[in-house]
Structures are given as C-alpha cells and as structure tokens.
C-alpha cells in the first residue's frame, strides 16, 4: 500500500514538473516569439536595405539558436536533477523495505 502511494506521488510530481517546465522560462519563450515575428517582418520587406535586411535575418537566426541551446541546457540539468531525485527515492524505498524485513525478523525471533 505504501509503495502504491509513493508511486502515485512520484507520478504526480512528474506530471506537475512537465506543466511547470512549459511556464518556467517565460522570458526566453517571449523573446523567441518576438524574434520569430521580427524575422517574418524582415522577410516580408520589399527591399534589402543594402544587405542589412539579410544580415538582420541571419542575426535573428543565430539568436534563436542561442535561445534553443539555452533551453536545451536547462532541460538537461533538470533531467539530471530528476534522475537524482528518483535515485534517492529508490534508496529510501529500499531502506524502508530493509527496516520492515528486520522488524519482521525480530518479531519471528521473539516468538520462538
């Protein structure tokens, strides 16, 4: 029963983490959206402005790439933290099982 409760809590944390992660970096998400909008406006421009429009689009592409890499780095670190948390939960569960086994063994020994 206890194991089922622990599993339910873990599933709840994973689900909540996914929801939070989508809202966790609103500044980067807003910047990404703004850059994509600026890029679309530049690409729709009728003139090249002496090559500056093309250069600006390239700069925006590089900025979007940096945002993507930054978000990927954060996600990787978060995945590492989640892995460590799961590992700690597993150790805790094993320790609880060992304690229960020792108590049961002690009760059997006392009954003899």
Q: Is the pLDDT of residue 20 over 60?
A: no
HSE on the CB side for 110, CA within 13 Å?
6
Label residue 23 by pLDDT band (50, 70, 90).
Answer: confident
CB 93 within 8 A of CB 9: no
The model's pTM is 0.57
pLDDT of residue 3: 47
């Amino acid at each position: 029963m206890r194991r089922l409760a622990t599993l339910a809590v873990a599933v709840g944390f994973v689900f909540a983490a996914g929801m939070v992660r989508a809202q966790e970096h609103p500044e980067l998400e807003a910047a990404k959206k703004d850059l994509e909008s600026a890029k679309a406006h530049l690409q729709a421009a009728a003139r090249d402005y002496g090559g500056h429009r093309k250069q600006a689009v390239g700069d925006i592409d590089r900025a979007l790439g940096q945002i993507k890499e930054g978000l990927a780095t954060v996600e990787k670190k978060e995945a590492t933290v989640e892995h460590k948390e799961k590992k700690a939960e597993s150790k805790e569960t094993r320790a609880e099982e060992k304690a229960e086994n020792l108590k049961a063994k002690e009760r059997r020994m006392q009954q003899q």
